[in-house]
Structure 1
């Protein structure tokens, strides 16, 4: 998986390419934790080029949502493919976070 970080004011965007699974989730966890000290009001995950997400990847997304909730900030998942969108629907993530097509 490749992670590209783009900071714009109080917003941090993580553009993910490849697979977010057991092998790559720790890398994203570290990238998110590294930004935890910054004054961010919004975290954006761009899944346009993400092919797959496992339960380990879902845990990282949920952890980030909880982190942003504790800061009274927001988190958005953008451009999930159909399979990932179905996983979010099946797990109830669509009820607890903002997901944009």
Structure 2
């Protein structure tokens, strides 16, 4: 599992690759929350390189979304592979998180009003 980031305007795009599972979820969580603690408010989480996510990984994404919301920020997910998209769908997370197809769409969605409750 690896995380990388790049800044596009005011938006921090975080790319995750590999797998997020119970063995590495705590490490991924601390890595993602470090961005929030550093003051990032607008984050796009690019999961195009992620080929597996467990329930522990879903929890990490939810914690990131809540952390950003508490700071009046926003999280948009993009690039979900079909098997990862299915996990988000089955878990009901698609109804509470903003998910778009591409990184550019995620960046352009930042700042738009969000009606979803996290």
Instruction: Give your verdict on TM over 0.5.
Output: yes
Consecutive unaligned residues in structure 1, runs of 5 or more: none
Secondary structure class of the residue paired with 1:62: helix
How many angstroms apart in 1 are the aligned matches of 2:37 and 2:56?
A: 23
Task: Say whether the 8 Å CA contact 1:10–1:39 is kept in structure 2.
Answer: no
Could you say which residue in structure 2 is the equivalent of 1:68?
Answer: 68
Secondary structure class of the residue paired with 2:22: coil
Could you say which residue in structure 2 is the equivalent of 1:11?
Answer: 11
Consecutive unaligned residues in structure 2, runs of 5 or more: 102-118
Q: Does 1:78 align with 2:78?
A: yes
Could you say which residue in structure 2 is the equivalent of 1:98?
Answer: 98
How much has 1:10 moved relative to structure 2? 3.4
Comparing 46-55 with 12-21, greater Cα deviation is found at 12-21
Task: Say whether the 8 Å CA contact 1:20–1:52 is kept in structure 2.
Answer: yes
Task: Say whether the 8 Å CA contact 2:36–2:68 is kept in structure 1.
Answer: no
Could you say which residue in structure 2 is the equivalent of 1:22?
Answer: 22
Runs of 4+ aligned structure 1 residues displaced above 6 Å come to none
Over the aligned positions, Cα root-mean-square deviation in angstroms equals 1.4
Could you say which residue in structure 2 is the equivalent of 1:46?
Answer: 46
How much has 1:9 moved relative to structure 2? 4.6
Paired positions, count: 101
